[in-house]
Each structure stands twice: as structure tokens, then as C-alpha cells.
Structure 1
Amino acid sequence: MKDSIISLLQKVPMPGEKISIVEAQIIHEILEHNNELTIQLHLPQKYEKFQQALAPTIQDVIKRELGYTGTILVPITIIKANKSKEPGGISKVKQVIAVASGKGGVGKSTVSVNLALSLAKLGYSVGLLDAYIFGPSIPKMLHAEGETPSMKKIENKEFIIPLEKHGITFLSIGFFIKDSDALAWRGPMAGNVLKQLIVDTDWGELDIMVIDMPPGTSDIQLTICQTIELSGAVMVSTPQDVAVIDVVRGIDFFQKEHIEVPILGIVENMAWFTPAELPDNKYYIFGKGGVQTLAQETNIPFLGHIPIVQSIREGGDAGNPIVLQNSLAGTYFIDIAEKIAQNIQD
């Protein structure tokens, strides 16, 4: 019976491909018991959009060609991009970390860039994905504006090749649009483009991928969590109450059922201001200790403070992140990177 089914399914084309569903290796298991036939499919993320069509197609073929009169079940499991055996994509990426916030303007991209560079300094092979489709900033922060990623063919399919600089690979929608372009896209279109940056890009072998997430808890965040099995999320907030309230919502998002991403810790950015001429003084412009208090209340690791330092801002604007400058300010990010690396290994 099993051999007959496999032979029959050799004739069923894989949607979007020139091979059968058998050759696509999506059939995980075939079981027949008590007049009930179960054909379990393991579907790579890139084929997710075809899952509703596959089940009835398989059921119809088996009933029509084999005359099977019992119940035919076709359960489908979506294999996330970093657990797939497909060529290209992020199948060779060991750990994926999302850097997130509940609100914009808290310095999340600054943390993402400097965290990726810090992890590279610690000896890890690192990739950085700019998932902020509507406000990409990674090209500017890495002084890569105007550069264009190349393409590479793997097994008759074209893949984007990320750019490489300062020991990390990185990619952003910003490399495919003009700086002045506003993307007036609805959520599904933005999600599809983001998936291309993940599964249609050859990220190669990486120890860690850092994803600079957009603020909030909406379509893009859901797309990331559905496409990738995240090792954990790093939350970024400033100390004031209005930012802390939103990071609480961000934490709740990652802890929801069917998402369930571990929170690796919280970073308090813009913790205090220290003027260059008064290096021992600390001015708590946005309040004091709000994020650290939240970490204690939620039993989430507190990863550290990052002060308001002019050189951090200048480094981001100039495409020369502070971690590359071997300054005191850069050590804040190195310390945080060490804690995160330890957390994902435990």
C-alpha cells in the first residue's frame, strides 16, 4: 500500500517547482490503520502558502486513482527556516536572537548593531538582519548606503548574498530602495518581503543571527516568530514609565501561547547622561532604574545599562559604531554581549 501511494504521489507536482512532492521530500510518514490513511507532510517555510491546496489535492488523487474509501488525513507541519534542510536561507544558522522593543525611539537599532559587532569581537560568526521594513537604519549605521547585494545561484535558484563589513554579514530592505522612498505597504506584503530576506538569502554558516525588530507587536513580529525558531529575545527600553509600559507588552507578546520565545534579558538604554567634561557625573534625564526594577519584578535577567554618550550617537550617524572605536562607551555593549552569549549557551 505504501509503495503504491508513493508511486502515485510521484505524479503530484510540488506547487511552484518542476518536481513532484515526493522529490521535494515533504512526505514525512505514511501510516494506514483501521481504514484510516495518514500522510504526514513536513513543509519547509517557503512552501507554507501552498499548504491549504496540498491536502485536498493528495486526498483527491488517492481516492480517484487508488479507489481508497477510508478516511484520508493529511496533517502538515511547517518547518521553520532555521530548521530546514533546504539550500540557502538560514538553515546553517545556529542561534537567532531578536532585539525588540515595545516602542520606537529607544535605541534598539543602535543596540542591535553594536551587539552584533560585539559578538563578532567575542569570536562568533554573526549575521545582522534589519527587519524594520518601514524604517531601515542598518545601511547608514554601517556606512553601507548605496551598496547593492549580489546574487548567487544554488541548485538552479537565485539567492541574495548579504553584505559583509567589520566581520559581520548584514542585510536590509534599505539596500533595495531609495533613502527617500516611503513604503506604503500593508502587513502581508511587508511580511512577504521580510521572508525573502530570510529564506531567499544565502546567509551561510553563522553562530548567531541578530534581528533588529521593528517596534511594537504586529504583523512583522508575528512573521518573524512564525518563520524562524528564535533562540530568544532581548528587550530594549529607556527608563521612563511610558517606555517601560510598552516593553511589558513586548515581553507579553513573546510569552504568548504558540509564540513562546525565551526572554534573554532587558537592556536599559539612555540610562543616564554623562557630559564629557564631567565624566564622574550622572544625570538621570529619563528617570532612574525603571528597567532594572521591571527585570526584578518579572524575574528576567537585567543585561546592563547604556548611558547617553555623544560618541555613541555620532558613531551611529557616521557609520562607525562605538564598539569599533575601542572606547569606554563600547565596553557597555561588549559586557551585554557576553551575558547574552552565556544565556543562549545555558
Structure 2
Amino acid sequence: MAEACNTCSESSECTGEDCPAALKELQKIKNVIAVMSGKGGVGKSSVTGLLAASLRKKGFSVGIMDADVTGPSIPRLFGLQAGQLENGHRGIVPAGTGLGIEVISINLLLPSEEEPVIWRGPIISGVIKQFWTEVGWSELDYLLVDLPPGTGDAPLTVMQTLPLNGVIVVTSPQSLVSMIVRKSINMANKMNIPVIGLIENMAYLECPDCKKQIRLFGSDSTEEMAGKMGVPLLGQLPLEPRFVELCDKGKIEDFTREKSEINRVMEGIVKTFDTVEQMN
């Protein structure tokens, strides 16, 4: 039984298996933040990569756990290839990016990034737990957990077993997406996980000539929805072709060195992380 169990209010009924208090003692990580979305295609993984790179540039030690086991994309964003991982005295040594971000993903363990993962929910949940218990993470300031879209087994496993400080929800400006985002926020609320805020991706496209903002997905209701849900809108990220280009080349970290509206917004979002530790 972990030392934390002695003061846990649930210790009389808990068997110790998957206990968040016990799991927290396995790693010396200050803050664990999940990044989730109601549906796929909103750029959740690219936002996770941006958050990690922005935090790292501020001097924080950062890691990414790619919990999207059946659709991992974090290694591709950072230009990481399979076969880089080694075993250390504390478990699997995570891959390192150019900026020194630690990364674990199923695609780093497969012989090819195109190899499909055809597993049922319980196996996927087990792998996510192993990403915490059997990986030799450093003493990180932030571990970002890139969740698969929706409210299924993987997000539930992360919320029930990892010592989360909070979740960030990524959305795009469409009424259908907004409806599904509410499900994600309600899930976090039911699991008693603080919602740090919303990040709206692909909010608009700026005309390179006249600088007019073009709302490709129609009128924006995200700010109104966030207000009704009582969740802060952390920032609105535009579509920038240069960002897409570098992500496709596995050079997402290079983008953070460029002058862009995305990076300006991300700097403001990262400043809100100063209050994350106070949420728990």
C-alpha cells in the first residue's frame, strides 16, 4: 500500500489497484494535464504539440503521453521514428525531441507507423496505464496526455487512474462540434476533473493581402458556449499554412521560432498554466 493511502478517504474500500494516489507516487511529475476533444479532426494533437513546445521554450521540463493508441500522430509531428526507445533502470526511456520534450507513443514501439492497432478497449486501457507505470519519465514540470476523441475507454482510463491536474478541451467553430464538446466537459465534471479551459482551433483564416479574418466555418459561437458552460476560452488559433507545412514535415518545434498569430496566442495560453497547480 502506498504511503498516500494512509490519508486517503477511500482507503477502507480501495483494493489498491489503479489507485490514483498510489500511481502518483510512481512518477515525480508536478502537473499532469489531459488534452481532449469531443470529436476527431479538430487538431487536438497539433495543439498538444504546440502546448508542449511553448512550455518547453519557457524553460519547463515537458513530456507527452500519446494516449491515442489507435490513431497516434504525436511522433509524426515531432519527426520521431520507431526503434528509438531503449530500456533503462526505471523502465522504457521515452524518445526525446529537438527541444528535449519526452515522448511515449505506441507508434514508437511498432515496426512501422502504418501498422494498425486492432485492440479492444481493455487492452488499450492497459497500455495507457503502462505508459505511466513502465516508462522512466524524468522529473517533469508538465506531462501532457494527448487523448483520443470522444468519451470512451481511453479518456475514462486516464481520468480514473492518472493524477490529473486538469483537462484542456480543443474545439473548432462549428455548432455540431460545440454540441459534442459539451459532452467532454460534462464528462470531466462528472469525474471531478477541473476543466482548465477551451482552445478553439481553426477559428479563422487571415487573408494575406487585406488581413481580413475569414470565418471558414461560419459564425463563431464558441465564446458563448464557453460562457454558458462556465469554462474559460483560453485562446482562438487561426489556420496558418506555414504551421500545417511544418507539422507535415515533423518540424512542429521549428514553428514556435517564427513570428505568427498562433505563437502569440499560445504565449498567452501558457501564462495561464501558472495557476494549474492551484486547481487541485
Shared topology, TM-score over 0.5?
A: yes
Give me the TM-score of the superposition, normalised by structure 2: 0.89
Per the TM alignment, residue 332 of structure 1 is displaced from its structure 2 partner at its CA by: 2.1
> Using the alignment, how far apart are the partners of 1:237 and 1:123 within structure 2?
27
Q: Hey, what does 2:104 align to over in structure 1?
A: 171
Percent of matched pairs sharing the same residue: 32
Q: 1:345 to 1:324 in 2, by over 3 A?
A: same
Consecutive unaligned residues of structure 2, counting only runs of 5 or more, are: none
Deviation of the 1:43 alpha carbon: 5.9
Check conservation: 1:323, 1:331, Cα contact below 8 A: no
1:55 aligned residue? none
RMSD of aligned residue pairs (Cα, Å): 2.2
Residues 40 and 181 of structure 1, relative CA distance in 2, 3 Å threshold: same
Question: TM (normalized to structure 1)?
Answer: 0.73
Cα drift, residue 26 of structure 1: 7.9
**Residues 341 and 108 (structure 1 numbering): CA distance in 2 closer, same or farther, change over 3 Å?**
farther
Conserved 8 A contact 1:117-1:323: no
Name the residue aligned to 2:149: 215
User: Aligned in 2, Cα 1:26/1:341: closer, same or farther, shift over 3 Å?
Assistant: closer
Between the aligned partners of 2:197 and 2:88, the Cα distance in structure 1 is 37
Aligned residue for 1:270, secondary structure, equals coil
Deviations 1:313-342 (A, max 9, x none): 112111111643322132222221222333
Q: What residue in structure 2 maps to residue 332 of structure 1?
A: 265
Shift of 1:82: 4.8
Deviations 1:212-256 (A, max 9, x none): 110000100111112112100101100110111110000011011
Q: What's the secondary structure of 1:132's corresponding residue? A: coil
Q: Which residue of 1 aligns with 2:227?
A: 296
The match for 2:200 among 264, 268, 282 is 268
In 1: Cα distance, 2:21 partner to 2:88 partner? 22
2: CA distance, partners of 1:25 / 1:285: 52
Which is bigger in relative contact order (C-alpha 8 A, separation at least 6)? 2
How many residues get paired?
271
Q: How does 1:144-163 map to 2 (within 5 A)?
A: 144-154=80-90, 159-163=91-95
Report the CA distance shift for 1:79/1:302 in structure 2 as closer, same or farther (over 3 A). Answer: closer
Paired amino acid for 1:296: G
Give the C-alpha shift of residue 169 in structure 1: 0.9
2:30 equivalent to 1:94: yes
1:83 corresponds to 2:24: yes
Answer with 1 or 2: which has the greater Rg: 1
Q: Could you list the per-position Cα deviations for residues 40-92 of structure 1 after superposition, in whole angstroms to 9, with x for gaps in the alignment?
A: 59765xx44xxxxxxxxxxxxxxxxxxxxxxxxxxxxx2446522x4xxxx20
